Every structure is written in structure tokens, then in C-alpha cells.
Amino acid sequence: MTTRRHHIRDLRIALCLSLAIGGLATAPSAFALDEAKAPVTEKEPLAIFKDPRQAMTKYIEGYRSGDTRSSLDALRYAADGGEALARWKLGSMYAQGDGVPHDDVKAYHYFQQIIDAYDEANPNPRERGVVASAFVAVGAYSLTGKGKGIERDTARAFEMFSYAATEFGDMHAQYNLGLMYLEGSGITKDVRRGARWLRLAADKQHIESQAVLGRLYFSGIEGVQRQRALGLMYLTMAREGANDPTKYKWIIDLYDGAMTTASDTDRQAALAYLEQFVKGRR
């Protein structure tokens, strides 16, 4: 059991950082950005743009035309000028080493710049998704630490996840906040509160949350009321979304284990719950 909890924790960390490398990112692109694949040499941005917004447009045009070098210049110019989307894109590229050398410190600083520039009193609706995802990315880096330049700070991770979970309703933040409560990672352990955060994310079709919550309900762990049918419903939804058998082997194993021990009554009730859930989303 301990090994499985550690495995889920490790996957949680990878999930958070995948926001910065094109995995489950909720940073919605207002410009339908693609990942730049060809490595380029770093250079100072060229001051040839009217404003950062125009530079952002030039980045998209340059990338689509295959002009990777000039498009990266434009992206840096836009980021230096305060464009949140450009900062997110550059942070993601540095986190992955996609088109630029891999550099977690640079990635972290670009995500942090988005947070620092966020005006809570006068938010820009266009940047809402990008800002939420920046909070999650900084939370992920703070949770794990990356050595010099990015220190492990669970209190800061909790702060970042809490803000994104409450102010933006971000499902990735809700998932990570839930797991912090389940594990007592830098905070007082509270399984019931963790389950509540997980359910918020699970009901938004976050499959990792569905899997962990399903296991909690199915088994009735540490004060969470045992509800086998409801747990099986969430495990079933998670299994349906687990389209990568390697990445999501842990979800498949949880589902298979539950199905093996579930009674016919459990399965029938789970199906009824699932039909009700789907109907409620229409």
C-alpha cells in the first residue's frame, strides 16, 4: 500500500510538471500554439515589433512558416513585454527542452513572472487559463524542488495549489491539493478534506483524481465512508480515460483489482451512478 501511495505521489509530480511540457496543460492558447521542435541558438530579441501583442502574432506566423529562429525572437520579445501567453510558452519550452536547452530554472522564472504580473483586482479574462496553470507549475516546482535556484518549499506549493484551486477552479490544482491533504505533505493530514478536493477535480473528468477518489470510496480508507458502487463508478471513468497503458498502468491495476472483488450488485449500482453522472453533464 505504501508503495502505491508513493507511486501515485510521483505521478502527481509528473502530472503537475506536464503542464509545462504539453501533457495535460490547462493553459488554453488563445492562438492555437504548436510546440517548436527544432533546436535554435539563443540570442537577444530583436526590437522590430510595434508592441508585445504584435510580436506574439509574429511568433505564430513565423512558426507556421517554418522560420523557427525569428519566431523565437518574437516570442522572447513578447515575453519581455509582459505577454503572459508568451511567458507560458517559453516556460513550457524550457521545462521540456523543446526548441531551447532544457532549463528548469528559466522555466520556473517565466512561470513566476506570470504570477508576479497577475493583477488580482483587475484580472485579464484572456489570460485566466494561463495564469491558473502558472500557479500550478510553480506549485509543482516548489513541491519537488530542483536544487539551486528552485528550493523545495511545501508551504509555497500549498499556497500555489490552494489559490489556483479556489480562485480558478483548476482541476490540476485541486488534484494536487487533494493529494497533499491525503499524504500530509507539508500540511496536517486530512483524508476527508483531500477527498473533497479530489471529487471536485474528478467531476471535471480529471482521470488521476477519478482513480484515487475511486480507490478511496471503494475501499473506505482512513475515515472516508466506504461506497463501493460510487468508487467503482469513478474507477470506471478513470479506466476509460487511461488510453496509455504504460503511463496509466496504476489506474488500470486499480480498476482491475476493484472489478475482481466487486459484486454484481456493486457493478449494477455503479452503472446506475455512471448513467446519472453522464445525464447530469448534458
> What total of structural domains would you count in the chain?
2
DSSP 152: -
Structural domain includes residue 139: yes
* DSSP 8-state secondary structure symbol assigned to residue 168: S
> For residue 114, is it within any domain?
yes
Q: What is the pTM of this model?
A: 0.78
More confident residue, 4 or 134: 134
User: Of 81, 76, 88, 151, whose CA–CA distance to 114 is shortest?
Assistant: 88
My answer on whether 124 and 229 are in the same domain is no
CATH number, position 165 = 1.25.40.10
Question: Residue 175 domain-assigned?
Answer: yes
The pLDDT value given to residue 68: 59
Q: Assign 198 to helix, strand or coil.
A: helix
How does the average pLDDT of the chain come out, rounded? 83
Which residue has 501515485 as its cell numbers? 8
Q: Which domain holds residue 36?
A: 2-189
Q: Are residues 103 and 152 in the same domain?
A: yes
Tell me the per-residue pLDDT of 60-88, one tens digit each, with 9 for 90 and over. 666 666 665 667 888 888 898 889 999 99
pLDDT of residue 11: 45
Q: 157 pLDDT exceeds 90? A: yes
The number of angstroms, rounded, from the C-alpha of 243 to the middle of its chain's C-alpha atoms is: 17
Q: Do residues 135 and 249 both lie within one domain? A: no
User: Model confidence over 166-176: pLDDT tens digits?
Assistant: 999 999 999 99
| pLDDT tens, position by position, 17-63 | 454 344 333 333 332 233 333 344 444 444 566 666 766 666 666 66
**Domain presence at residue 116:** yes
Query: Who has greater pLDDT, 48 or 101?
Result: 101
Residue 160, pLDDT > 60, answer: yes
Task: Say if residue 64 is in the same domain as residue 181.
Answer: yes
- Find the mean pLDDT for residues 159-185: 97
Q: Domain check: are 225 and 181 in the same one? A: no
Domain co-membership, 9 together with 134: yes
Residues 128 and 226: their CA atoms lie apart, in Å, by: 37
Q: Can you tell me the mean pLDDT for 211-235? A: 94
Please measure the distance between the N-terminal and C-terminal CA atoms of the chain and give it in whole angstroms.
37
Q: Do the domain assignments include residue 201? A: no
Domain match, 138 and 272 both: no
- C-alpha–C-alpha distance, residues 88 and 73, integer Å: 15
Domain boundary among 164, 189, 214: 189
